[in-house]
Amino acid sequence: MNALDGTTRTAEAFIGHTSSLAAARRLVTDFLDEHRLGTEIRRWGEVVTSELATNAVQSSPMTPYVVEAAVTRDRSHVSVSVRSAGKIADIPTEFQLPVPADSAHLGTSGRGLVIVDRLSDDLHVLEHPDGTISVTAVVQTRSGG
Amino acid sequence: MTTSRLTVDETEPGRLRCAGVIDAHTAPSLESAVRSTELEGDLMIDLHQVEFVDSSGLRVFVGAHHRCSEAGGRLVLVRPSEAVLSLVEIAGLKDHLHIAS
């Protein structure tokens, strides 16, 4: 299913600076709180938003990015999407390729999208005609599906 | 606008106490504190008052772990929250970082 169909959603643009990260997380956690999806989903949304927004800020500094959170009508799926001026090439290769379980754990960078991938049921990247990209993470809730 | 805040205090040599949020906005201040700490044995980072950590914080922990190892000591994360512990585990760092409750 497309988790973005038949949904309630919220979206906001933020400046491409790390000072915006807390507000981006707040947008999503407030939205999830409104829908009473529980602590686990709230934590998921907080971490996923932080990682995706950080990637947007680091790939396109000072360029606005848009965060969108959505909950399906049946509350079975939640998604967080960040659209930015980044490029597909900015997506770390460890996200694009599986990371062997016993390797590279002590590298000091490129861990964010791996975490998002492991926390989420689905993670995909969409390149738009205008050159922006959206990275969307989806998780299934316990209350639906 | 809401902005991430983190305070880092060196409560005694080799012990840092953090309060707030560790993300890409605040991680540099923790990294700076780790770099400026003189290591004589283990480095303890007290996370009891840390509300949120993402991979930017993990990156600092891994860097501190390497620095401690080179100095013959250990990095010890003290009293992390359940959420932080979960993130450490998901990132595959559980067997590499020392945790003290």
Reported ipTM: 0.94
pLDDT of residue A144: 53
Contact between A59 and A84 under an 8 Å Cβ cutoff? The reply is yes
Q: Which helix (H) or strand (E) holds A70?
A: strand A65-72
pLDDT of residue B83: 92
For residue B66, the chain A residues in CB contact (below 8 A) are 106, 108
Per-residue pLDDT of chain B (101 residues; tens, 9 = 90+): 789 999 999 999 999 999 999 999 999 999 999 999 988 889 999 999 999 999 999 999 999 999 999 999 999 999 999 999 999 999 989 888 999 98
For residue B85, the chain A residues in CB contact (below 8 A) are none
Alpha-carbon radius of gyration of chain A: 15
For residue B70, the chain A residues in CB contact (below 8 A) are none
- Provide the strand spans (E) within chain B: 6-12, 15-22, 43-53, 75-78, 98-100
Stretch 26-85 of chain B: residues touching chain A, C-beta under 8 Å: 52, 54-56, 58-59, 62-63, 65-66, 83
Reply yes or no on whether the pLDDT at A99 is more than 50.
no
